[in-house]
A and B are shown apart, each in its own frame.
Chain A
Amino acid sequence: MKTAIEVHDLTVTYNQKPALWDIDFDIPDGALVGIIGPNGSGKSTLVKSMMGIVEPSSGWVKIFDQDIEQVRHKVSYVPQRESVDWDFPTNVMDVVLMGRYGRSGLFRRLSKKDKRIAAESLEKVGMLQFAQRQIAQLSGGQQQRVFMARALAEQAEMYLMDEPFAGVDAATENSIFEVFQEIRDSGKTMMVVHHDLQSAAKYFDYIVLLNTRLIAAGPTEEVFTQELLQEAYGGKLSILDQIHAIIEQKGYPVRES
């Protein structure tokens, strides 16, 4: 299988303190990948360094065998929702149209086509009726879906998403996940930072397990073992133990929609 992302000996530091240390893994083309790790384990940093938003101290990342600068327009990034001020004076449609800036250029007027694509993206995440709504008046889950729509409007080949499921309810999570599957089924690669171990096993084909160092990267069944998870999450595994017990008893929980 072709390699979509290659991360080579990547080290990133903030004020000399490493947030990522010697990370090295490959991601196959067309995979739906989860990035899993405890708080502060460097998940966001990993995604940001893939996008070239933070500079690595050493190592490099190649996307489709190239430097990110060469393939930027093929990669779409969704920041963590808390990273922006939702009180900003703008509406839903405007935010989604930002997804077209990369393609249509920042100094040209947006075309009818751009607007159509933005509307279609909103439709896909079920937010079209909120197009004119102020972003300050959205719930957390709706904000997340607006970010999704903006990413879809970029019409990229690869999606890197930072915690798209944070603070959304079960129904929204399901509908977002359906969009993910659609994207994956169209042959595109997706990396998704995710918090919930319980659903991670169900959602992802491939998992990158992180705790400043790389604990493991590989197909979900190989990575999701008690030992590796224990290594990533250290001693604080009581919840995980319980979840494992539940999963063993009942199989993967299917959420109500």
Chain B
Amino acid sequence: MDWDIVIDFLLLRDPNVRYVVLGSVLIGASAALTGCFLFLRKRALVGDAIAHAVLPGICLAFLVFKTKNPAILLAGAILTGWLSLLFIDWITNKSRIKTDTAIGLTLSWFFGIGIMLLTAIQKTGNASQTGLDKFIFGKAASMVDQDVFVFGGLSIVVILVIFLFFKPLKLISFDRDFASSIGLPVGRYDFLLSTLTVLAVATGIQAVGVVLMAALLITPAAAARFWTDKLKRMLLLAATFGAFSGIVGAFISYTTPRMPTGPWIVIVISVIAIFSFLFGAKKGLVVRQVRQQKMQRKILRENILKLFYKLAEEDGQLYEQRGVDQLTNRRFFIPSQLKTGLQQLLKENLLEKADLDYRFTEKGVEEGKRITRLHRLWEMYLTQYLKIAPDHVHDDAEAIEHIITPEIEAELVHQLEMPELDPHDSTIPYGEKLPNKIKD
């Protein structure tokens, strides 16, 4: 790699680099913003169809006008992109074919025709034809200021329109029927969103390439969704992801001119998406897993305390020391987990070490009592209010006891009128005060 070029790029010294970067940012952002609404309306496939359907338009425009002027090629792209939408609607309305099939058919037909035309063009050996294939996989660095003016300008229009129509677009994406009930012309907004999609795809044809433009529409939206529950933030994040992958694409294209840009942009945005999928703050896999593990550890600790309390009930010795064997005899624990659970309880000062064994602290007694109480209260509730037979309530209580909040506990006590015995005639232990729950 030539470091001079890298530094040139990073410092934006060359005015052309500035143009390319600016164009890529705008294209990435406008595609991502449009994609958010497609994503939320579960119309991701439509974006894919449009992305493929612009190819024959580009080829036709080239064949007819014999020019690579971006404005003309863009017009061709928009034309067939639009036709594909009409085509999808036409198929679904005139036949029994379902929407997803109609989209698939349209996509392959239009793209097939596009490839056919492209091959024909290449055979004619027209001198100015060289480089038309950059419209398939993209070549960001090939944009000159004129291209950026056209594509970037169009992207700005798309972004502005989304900004202006944010509320109605949000409303029809969330609740279409309600939107029409307050008089919103939903048909016209559908048209608007489709047009925006066609435009957003068309702006990317040179920098990203038609084939991969669909990824730049949907992937940023999908990635952003893992980080936030707020629509505005989702749009902002998606636009940032889109813009960032645009910059990386431009960088690659500039530093390694023979490399197609589109695939690189897709790789970058996919890495962002995978990272979001794993670590996203709202729905990320890892975050959910960590939460689940915390819950499991909490359940384990509570089960140990409950067992301590049960044993104490049986032999009447609250502060008796008890060994691991005694515990595992009464209830199944995975030994390694039991060990960490006990360690944790020691640390929280709910148990204390006695020789090699463990015994309750005062705080531990209260906690053991609390969990036993919740278990038995819940069993009471199930038998009394849901009329479930007493021999069927234990398993459910084993789970629910860990999630009952103090408020629900108070409500249970109130509704059951502070029962003394559970359905199995065990005493329900009430504490002096409502004890604190174990931290999770």
Contact = CB atoms under 8 A, between A and B. Distances in A.
12 contacts: A51-B180, A53-B180, A53-B181, A72-B183, A78-B178, A83-B177, A88-B173, A89-B40, A89-B225, A89-B229, A90-B231, A101-B182
A250 to B, nearest CB: 19
Nearest to A110: B167
Interface in A98-125: 98, 101-102, 106-107
A145 interface: no
A12 B231 CA distance: 36
A48 B180 CA distance: 10
Given A91-B229, A102-B183, A107 B167 contact: yes
A98 B231 CA distance: 14
A234 B298 CA distance: 54
A136 B180 contact: no
A106 B184 contact: yes
Contacts of B27: none
B174 A77 contact: no
Interface in A33-91: 48, 51-53, 69, 72-73, 75-79, 83-85, 88-91
B280 to A, nearest CB: 12
A69 B185 CA distance: 11
Contacts of A134: 229
Given A76-B181, A98-B171, A101-B167, 8 more contacts: A51-B177, A73-B183, A77-B178, A83-B177, A84-B175, A88-B173, A89-B230, A106-B171
B284 interface: no
B228 interface: yes
A88 to B, nearest CB: 5
Interface of A: 48, 51-53, 69, 72-73, 75-79, 83-85, 88-91, 95, 98, 101-102, 106-107, 134, 136, 150, 154
A83 to B, nearest CB: 6
B269 interface: no
Which 5 pairs across A and B sit closest by C-beta, in order of nearness?
A: A102-B182, A77-B181, A79-B177, A72-B183, A134-B229
B234 interface: yes
Contact of B183 (A69, A85, A107, A136): A69
A90 B184 CA distance: 20
Given A53-B181, A85-B174, A106 B167 contact: yes
A107 B166 CA distance: 9
B177 A53 contact: yes
A83 B229 contact: no
Interface in B178-200: 178, 180-184
Contacts of A79: 175, 177-178, 181
B175 A98 contact: yes
B168 A106 contact: yes
Interface size class of B (residues with CB under 8 A): 20 to 34
Nearest to A53: B180
B302 to A, nearest CB: 24
Contacts of B184: 106
Given A88-B40, A88-B173, A89-B228, A98 B178 contact: yes
Given A98-B171, A106-B167, A106-B184, A77 B229 contact: no
A197 B199 CA distance: 52
B180 A52 contact: yes
A133 B76 CA distance: 47
Nearest to A80: B177
Nearest to B173: A88
B241 to A, nearest CB: 16
A51 B181 CA distance: 6
Contacts of B178: 77-79, 98, 150
Contacts of B174: 84-85, 88, 90, 95, 98
B230 A90 contact: yes
A76 B171 CA distance: 15
Contacts of B171: 98, 101, 106
Contacts of B168: 106
B177 A48 contact: yes
B177 A77 contact: yes
B205 to A, nearest CB: 30
Contacts of A102: 182-183
B409 to A, nearest CB: 19
A154 B181 CA distance: 11
A89 B234 contact: yes
Nearest to A151: B178
B234 to A, nearest CB: 5
B3 to A, nearest CB: 43
B159 to A, nearest CB: 17
Interface in B137-185: 164, 167-168, 170-171, 173-178, 180-184
A195 to B, nearest CB: 19
Nearest to A88: B174
Interface in B12-58: 40, 42
Contacts of B40: 85, 88-89
B181 A136 contact: no
Contacts of A48: 177
Contacts of B175: 79, 83-84, 98
Contacts of B228: 89
A136 B177 contact: no
A243 B182 CA distance: 39
A156 to B, nearest CB: 10
A95 B164 CA distance: 19
A106 B177 CA distance: 16
A51 B184 CA distance: 12
A212 to B, nearest CB: 21
A88 B225 CA distance: 10
Contacts of B170: 90
Contacts of A51: 177, 180-181
A135 to B, nearest CB: 9
